[in-house]
Structure 1
Amino acid sequence: MNKIFLIAVLACTVISCKKDFIELSPEDEIAEASFYKTEAQFRMALTAAYQPLRDLETNDFYTGEMRSDNTHYQYYQINRGTAYTMRENIADFMDDPSNDYSNAVYFHCFRGVSRANIILDRIDGGTLTDAAKNDIVGQAKFLRAFNFFKLVRYFGGVPLFVHEVTDAEQSFLPRSTADQVYAQIVDDAKDAIAKLANPVFTSGKQNGQATKGSATMLLAEVYMVQKKYAEAETLLNTLPAMGYDLLANYSDVFSTTNKNSKESLFEVQYLEGLQGGQQSQFIYFFLPRSSNTTVITGVKTDNSGIGGWNTPTQDLIDAYEADDTLRKNASIAVAEGTYNSSNIFTFSANKSIINYKPAAGKVGVPYIRKYLNPHANPNNTNDNWPVYRYADALLLLAEAKNLQGKSAEALVPLNKVRARAFGNVTHNITTTDPAALTDIIAHERRVELAFENHRWHDLVRTGKAIDVMNAFGIKQKALYSYLSPASYQVDKNRLLYPIPQSERDLNVDLTQNDGYPQ
């Protein structure tokens, strides 16, 4: 907030003491002084603290998946506006501190932190039972930890706001170190684990809020980043007793009839409907740009202004084992049709990716099938976004065991995931060579968790990002003439995104990450 503006407002408040002037609150709204008192009010505030996650996920696939070798974009040569080039630049490693889409991740995360802080700072002034208070505090601390974890992985050390900002001076903090941010994340996640209850499965479904399992998975992933493998293993081993397990079929995981299932440790909630603005629309972003999507979605709409993003790469398609057809088919499909001179696609068929060959005179464009479910209205879907799944936990457990020299034990969770993927036909990994198993687990995470925003973080966490993405860039530049020679020049500086320039313009104490304009 502008400091001069805040001082002016305070001054006006002090000198303007007429009763009819200061009584401005509409009588049909709850005044702040009487809010944050009851359990119902704090749960309303908690709902508001979850909301930024929905905005986050409409940007996170650019920074978490398109930044990797899993997906790319469909180049739109007739429109070179910043809304297109900024998103392309993230994928091509040519982004800068003014990129609206990486900056949006920063802002949405801090919005979530801010709303969690308000709850945590004010809850002692409310009238709640101990059980209700523990639940609300646990969820708020999970959300704060989750957002800070997202921030520190993408941007490095960031300002560590752990209290509600009530005046301008509190708004301008310098960056804390990454270690300090991680220490706060660990403290919050531990407290969330202690306070939150196990998930409750009512008719096989959870309510979508964070649970002890959500916080456990979060902290386990933090420990994996910190190379605290024994601590991660201990946490991950507690999940089965909470009721988590794999669904029978891989494709079932992404059906909207199975939202918040026993495989879900945490997912961002969306709700199809014409009122409330709570719907998702991921499939429309991920399809080729078209004036009519009916062939794929069953609903006629024009997605030419929003489509063309997060397209599966041939590199990923080729990564699936030859008989990994069930998982591949559930993850990727092919939109078949033709492009016109304006690079707008006309769909003629929806095809399986398995052994696909285009019909005469047609081209096939792969798209992410995971987020295609029946819906009644255009740009209005019921798909949640998966953040943590039990399959993810099993593969992290396999990795943690292997990195501690327990390679034989690592095969158990690894092969449990593979058994489901291959239709419960024995397809076990048997090698106990630690180096070979490291690569196998990384591959398994890539195909199991494709398009769920894990690949870039996994590459960074395992120290593979620079080598993998430079090699991938060479292949991309051989395929696409529009890529600049300056693209895919990946070094250690590019493992972090830049701090938004707009924030640095407001706060002179914010330093910039190395490798970006200072």
Structure 2
Amino acid sequence: MKKNIGILISVIALSATTSCKKFLTQLPQDSVAPQTYYSTPEQLTAALAAAYSELGNTDEATYSRFLSLEANASNDEYYLRSSSSIAASVYNASPSYANFINCWNDLYTGIERANLLLENLDQSPVAQATKDEIRGETLFLRAYYHFILVSYWGDVPLKLKSTQGVTDVNFPRTPKKQVYAQIIKDMTTAEGLVNTSAVWNNNGRISKTGVEGVLSRVCLHAAGRLADASYYPQAATWAQKVISSGIHSLNTDYKQIFINESQDVEDIKECIWEVEFYRDVAGIYRNYERFGSTLGINNTNIDYGFMQGQYECLGTYYNLFGKGDLRRDWTITPFYYSGNDASKGTITTPAASTWGRYLAKWRRSYQNAAIINVKNVGPTNWPLLRYADVLLMAAEADNEVNGPTTNSINYVNLVRERAYGNVLIGRNVNSVTITNAGTGYTVAPTVTITGGGATKAATATTTLTSGKITAITITDPGAFYTSAPTVTITSANGVGSGGAATVTISSLTDADLLPAQYTSKAVFRQTIMDERSRELGGEGHRKLDLFRWGNFLSTVANLVTVIPVQAPNASASSTYGYTGRASAVQPYKNVSNRDTLFPIPVTEITLNPGIPFSAQNPGW
């Protein structure tokens, strides 16, 4: 924020109707004077692109890696594997930590660029309609950057005009209530100016429903962080606008959301707003991400998509998912690579190993072949707002105002029905009951499941003890059954007989909430909290959610007591190919009251007389 930023046109744009990704196709250009700039739609769009670009700054301090992973890590979902590191996610960094400094500076750089553009829009000879569109996006970006700042740092300087000179460096902290008020004001104005997603046909530029969805999030955060319930009706209204627009819907296949982001495929129905990272046909990155090579299944073979695998999930998070929830084995990988080398194939993780599995929502194996062998950087997009999030925010806000209602329960059920594959796989086999264990088997007999009208038959395997069948494990539940199928058990070598079993199939209502999960406002609130974690795990929301709900410290305190008891020991982890072990508890032991906010960077306190050392966040 101290820098005399000037006009930093770091990118060139094509036209006002191109996607945000197309903004980022040129190398940085020389600075130009404001008096001679802002004269054409192309110049205005380039200035707007410069404001957008801080979302994915290549210093990795925003959504390239820090805000996407580290800032949110060591919550009740996942933790940094190397607990001896100095990092925000280990809760042992200081105000001089580079990512705190760089993230703060990047966000204020985005604000500075937005202010410069806003201050020069009116004098531009460009058509008023074009200027209004750009004004809306710019106001939103300025507000969004302030929102991230107030979310992580609390009271922060509210900067509504550009730096006027090298002596213009006195910026005191503004009370967070005032910051939230300005964020909501700017975003509300933006909502009436920006285009719909159909105009852009991409999710890199903020759209009308994107603004509405983020406004719902801002109001929920304001309600929690300011302890002011008056924001809940606003949050409900903004979320309902997105739903009522009819523009968005859930992707029928949960995992496809993240495959699309790895493959750079637009999905404007589900993914309302993303940070779009870009690599051109010549292989040059204009802004790139590092989260894609940090978060995932550990793989040291560069030709198969190098992956550090730095983040592992807690067993308590694994156990949060119900039987049949397809999100679990996509978010938390059910396998690892033999010898940490993807070329050697996969090894299925034993069912008993619920701790230390990799967080792997994005997988490099789905990236373009020309990109996959680039070691550390990639073009995988980062989701900032998904439709599922909007449904859950609508349910949460409505519950806070009215308690459980038919609408809010249905919103959660929509998310859950997708999670259990209602549209994707319909009814499937969900249990097998042994009715006769048989006798005399020397080799595990085969299981054949037939009939029931399925479009894809279920499969299963048997386990023997002393010649008898003691377990039947479903290996594929099949798809679109209309009635219970028949099970036939056949000896694999002609020895043994008598085994028999029956199966039950799922119901399309199995995914829906049970009445016990919404008996009261408090009960339904906890249900929604859990559902947000299952649906949005690893997407950068959890820690900020815990902050706004006021239960971050109690959640961490509970994990400190649970992890040493339930986490596997080092030798067991080595057997399963993981490094998760009882030492995973260390980041959580480091947590203190100070950790509900980041520290004001030491550089800011040193150079900004408006924030003296006495104004540092408590405990830092």
TM-score bracket, shorter-length normalisation = 0.7 to 0.9
Give yes or no for the alignment of 1:428 onto 2:518: no
- 1:459 is matched with 546
Say whether 1:236 aligns with 2:229.
no
Is the Cα contact below 8 Å between 1:470 and 1:489 reproduced in 2? no
**Match of 1:327, as an amino acid?**
R
Distance between the aligned counterparts of 1:71 and 1:485, measured in 2? 13
Structure 1, 450-459 or 58-67: larger mean CA deviation = 58-67
Give the equivalent residue in structure 2 for 1:200.
Answer: 198
Structure 1 residues 103 and 406, CA gap change in structure 2 (3 angstroms): same
CA distance in 1, matches of 2:82, 2:582: 11
Task: Quickly say closer, same or farther: Cα 1:134–1:469, change in 2 above 3 A.
Answer: same
Aligned partner of residue 143 in structure 1, secondary structure = helix
SS in 1 for 2:102: helix
Partner residue of 2:536?
449
| Equivalent position of 1:277 in the other structure | 286
The more displaced of 474-483 and 264-273 is: 474-483
Percent of aligned pairs sharing the same letter: 25
**Which of the residues 471, 474, 484 maps onto 2:561?**
474
Shift of 1:230: 1.1
Residue 123 of structure 1, CA deviation: 0.8
1:489 Cα deviation from its structure 2 partner = 5.1
Assess, with a 3 A threshold, how the Cα gap between structure 1 residues 2 and 459 changes in structure 2: closer, same or farther: closer
Determine helix, strand or coil for the equivalent of 2:133. helix
Number of positions where the alignment pairs a residue of Structure 1 with one of Structure 2:
467
Could you say which residue in structure 1 is the equivalent of 2:597?
496
> What is the Cα deviation at residue 411 of structure 1?
0.3
RMSD: 3.0
Aligned with 1:280: secondary structure? coil
Would the alpha carbon gap of residues 175 and 470 (structure 1) be closer, same or farther in structure 2, given more than 3 Å must change?
A: same
Q: What TM-score do you get using the length of structure 1 for normalisation?
A: 0.82
Once the two structures are TM-superposed, the CA of residue 246 in structure 1 deviates from its matched residue by: 1.0
Q: Does 1:508 align with 2:609?
A: yes
* Other-structure match for 2:367: 374
* DSSP-derived class of the 1:209 partner: coil
Deviations 1:137-162 (A, max 9, x none): 11011111111010001001111111
- Residue identity opposite 1:462 in structure 2: W
Q: SS state of the match for residue 403, structure 1? A: helix
What's the TM-score once normalised by structure 2's chain length? Answer: 0.69
Between structures 1 and 2, the one with greater helix share: 1
Say if 2:115 and 2:162, in contact at 8 Å, map to a contact too.
yes
Flag the structure with larger Rg: 2
How far apart are 1:207 and its partner, in Å? Answer: 5.1
Kept after mapping to 1: 8 A contact 2:217/2:235: yes
**1:330 alignment counterpart:** 330
Map 1:149-160 onto structure 2 (within 5 A). Answer: 149-160=147-158
Question: Deviations 1:27-76 (Å, cap 9, x if unpaired)?
Answer: 99855431122221010011111111013112113444214121112228
Match of 1:286 in 2: 295
The aligned residue for residue 68 of structure 2 is 61
1:404 corresponds to: 401
Aligned position for 2:346: 350
Corresponding residue of 1:437: 524
Partner residue, 1:40: 42
* CA distance in 2: counterparts of 1:455 and 1:261, whole angstroms: 23
Match in the other structure for 2:572: none
- The residue identity in structure 1 corresponding to 2:238 is L
In structure 2, do the counterparts of structure 1 residues 310 and 131 end up closer, same or farther at CA, with 3 Å as the change threshold?
farther
Shift of the alpha carbon at 1:197?
2.4
AA partner of residue 144 (structure 2): F
Instruction: Determine the structure 2 residue equivalent to 1:225.
Output: 221
Q: Does the aligned pair in 2 maintain the 1:334–1:364 contact within 8 Å?
A: no
Structure with bigger strand share is 2
**Unmatched runs of 5 consecutive residues or more in structure 2:** 6-28, 224-230, 423-507, 568-580
Specify whether residues 470 and 416 from structure 1 end up closer, same or farther in structure 2 by C-alpha distance, changes over 3 A only.
same
For residues 246 and 67 of structure 1, what CA distance do their matches in structure 2 show? 29
**Counterparts of 1:397 and 1:157, CA distance in 2:** 27
- Give the residue type in structure 2 aligned to 1:223: C
Shift in CA distance, 289/418, structure 1 to aligned 2, threshold 3 Å? closer
- Kept in 2: contact 1:186–1:219 (CA 8 A): yes
